[in-house]
Structure 1
Amino acid sequence: MSITNLELQNYLDGMLRVKEISDYCPNGLQVEGARNIETIITGVTASQALVDAAVEKNADAIIVHHGYFWKGESQVITGMKKRRLSALLANDINLYAYHLPLDVHPEFGNNRQLAALLGIENVSAVSSVKPLGVVMQGDLVESVDGHTLQSKLKKLLGREILIEGPVTKPISTIAWCTGGGQGFIEQAVDLGVDAFISGEVSEQTVHTAREMGITFFAAGHHATERYGVKSLGEHIAEQFDVTVQFIDIDNPA
């Protein structure tokens, strides 16, 4: 069946439990466009490049993980923000964004999808962003050393992977938090896992890994968060009579 923009919002908001999760930005429909939706573009971030790609594809909607209107940013509509919003409004494109709700979703979430990509088993949530977990832990199918896991991540994610801490000890248990989750490394240590994966790294993360004996991987904010919105789009295409295409705008961060 086809769908309207408000019907899509209600469906996604309910499935992703938006009302139950406090966030740093509005989740759901951020910019209203055409009423009827036939073509949807999904991507990690609502950059100008993704908006331009949606215009080229004659899309009626864009669904992203990183949208607009973050807490603490300037509220004026000038420069980059004006250009992005102008393109959306001029082409009647709806913009939907789901930040923490998409990080933590047990099926389509970024954390859950990274686990699926790596073949991690016995996945469980261990840190709460109510009502679900923002950090997950699980087991590798086979124990590997740090360099072997680094090579696997590099192949799967298509980018260089930073590794710190012990690199030769066996890794069989692992915790992870996609994106900017490096601050959870000490919680991973407390869990007793062998390794921790996040998207980003801070200066202090390196020292924590070295001094606390946990193998740490920084695998890229963008690279670790491709798969949630992609899987969400695939689900929407199965549920409704719409065309959905994931567009990956390269970002080395």
Structure 2
Amino acid sequence: MIDRDELVSACDELLGTARFQDYTENGLQVSGRSSVTRVMTGVTACQALLDEAVAWEADLILVHHGYFWKNEPVAVTGMKRRRLATLLGHDINLLAYHLPLDAHPELGNNAMLARRLGLQVEGTIDAPMGQGLLWRGRLGEAMTAVELEALIGQRLERKPLLIEAPEAGDITRVAWCTGGAQDMIAAAAEAGAQAFISGEISERTTHLAREMGIHYLAAGHHATERYGVQALGQWLGERFAVEHRFVDIDNPA
């Protein structure tokens, strides 16, 4: 058992939340009981995850996608009311880390994606809203775009959407940023990457990839961001001897 505030402070310090300008509130978003024994992690604080936490009698839910996003409606009605009522009614804490969890050099989503795909990290690339979020590196050996597509599909258990740029040729130099970072493709191409891996795709992404000569692989927002929160949950379990359980709520996006 650990004091909630001590646990939250440790996470805030580890992830360096103060240095990020984010679209949401990082850290403790909803307070519950003051002592924590069981931590449930998940990608998004959806109702299905909350219900799992209630059934498991979790003290704290740790997610990548929490609540209170910039420009969202502030009224506590409908879905928002049901979610908050579940947390408050069962005295469960909600802890969320967005950009800080993407960027962390060891436990973050980008770091964990690199480890899962066997990418050799070489550094980061400056990009609008980058804050160390756009990473660059190399494959262990040259691959065609189709071979990289197959590797990602195998390792993430989700087939990515591949936009090929024939002039980019075989791939050794790659860049990546998990989640909805498709608009970083221009910065990736300008930095010399032959392929860019992210989660989502927009209509414009196809044309940017083809015209800038860089392969693009949309590997899934959810699929690319399952691993950072698990790593952070495991870190909490080891540091504070709390029980940790990750729940993967299916999401094809």
TM category, shorter: over 0.9
Task: Name the residue aligned to 1:114.
Answer: 113
Task: Name the residue aligned to 2:180.
Answer: 180
CA deviation after TM superposition for structure 1 residue 129, in Å = 8.2
In structure 2, what residue type is equivalent to 1:55?
V
3-state SS in 1 of match to 2:132: strand
3-state SS in 1 of match to 2:6: helix
CA-to-aligned-CA distance 1:228-247 (integer Å, 9 cap, x gap): 10111111111012100111
Percent of paired sites with the same residue = 50
CA distance, structure 1, for counterparts of residue 11 and residue 126 of structure 2: 23
CA distance, structure 1, for counterparts of residue 80 and residue 32 of structure 2: 17
What is the total number of aligned residue pairs between the two structures? 252
3-state SS in 1 of match to 2:53: helix
3-state SS in 2 of match to 1:134: coil
CA-to-aligned-CA distance 1:31-58 (integer Å, 9 cap, x gap): 0001110000000000000000000100
3-state SS in 2 of match to 1:65: strand
Query: Are positions 1:223 and 2:215 aligned together?
Result: no
CA deviation after TM superposition for structure 1 residue 130, in Å = 8.7
Task: Name the residue aligned to 1:211.
Answer: 211
Task: Name the residue aligned to 1:80.
Answer: 79
The 1:158–1:56 alpha-carbon spacing in structure 2 relative to 1, beyond 3 Å, is: same
**Structure 1 range deviating more: 175-184 or 151-160:** 151-160
Task: Name the residue aligned to 1:24.
Answer: 23
TM-score (norm 2): 0.96
CA deviation after TM superposition for structure 1 residue 141, in Å = 0.4
In structure 2, what residue type is equivalent to 1:117?
R
CA deviation after TM superposition for structure 1 residue 132, in Å = 4.8
Would the aligned equivalents of 1:20 and 1:130 in 2 still touch at CA under 8 Å?
no
In structure 1, what residue type is equivalent to 2:241?
D
CA-to-aligned-CA distance 1:210-236 (integer Å, 9 cap, x gap): 111111000000000001101111111
Task: Name the residue aligned to 2:88.
Answer: 89
In the TM superposition, 1:140-219 aligns within 5 A as 140-166=139-165, 169-219=169-219
- State the Cα RMSD in Å: 1.5
Task: Name the residue aligned to 2:252.
Answer: 252
User: Which residues of structure 2 form unaligned runs of 5+?
Assistant: none
CA distance, structure 2, for counterparts of residue 138 and residue 230 of structure 1: 23
In structure 1, what residue type is equivalent to 2:13?
G
Would the aligned equivalents of 1:21 and 1:131 in 2 still touch at CA under 8 Å?
no
Would the aligned equivalents of 2:145 and 2:164 in 1 still touch at CA under 8 Å?
no
3-state SS in 1 of match to 2:61: strand
The 1:208–1:132 alpha-carbon spacing in structure 2 relative to 1, beyond 3 Å, is: closer
CA distance, structure 1, for counterparts of residue 72 and residue 114 of structure 2: 32
Would the aligned equivalents of 1:195 and 1:215 in 2 still touch at CA under 8 Å?
yes
CA deviation after TM superposition for structure 1 residue 188, in Å = 0.7
CA distance, structure 2, for counterparts of residue 98 and residue 129 of structure 1: 20
CA distance, structure 2, for counterparts of residue 122 and residue 234 of structure 1: 22
CA distance, structure 1, for counterparts of residue 188 and residue 130 of structure 2: 20
In the TM superposition, 1:1-20 aligns within 5 A as 2-20=1-19
Segments ≥4 residues shifted beyond 2 Å:
127-132, 165-169
In structure 2, what residue type is equivalent to 1:118?
L
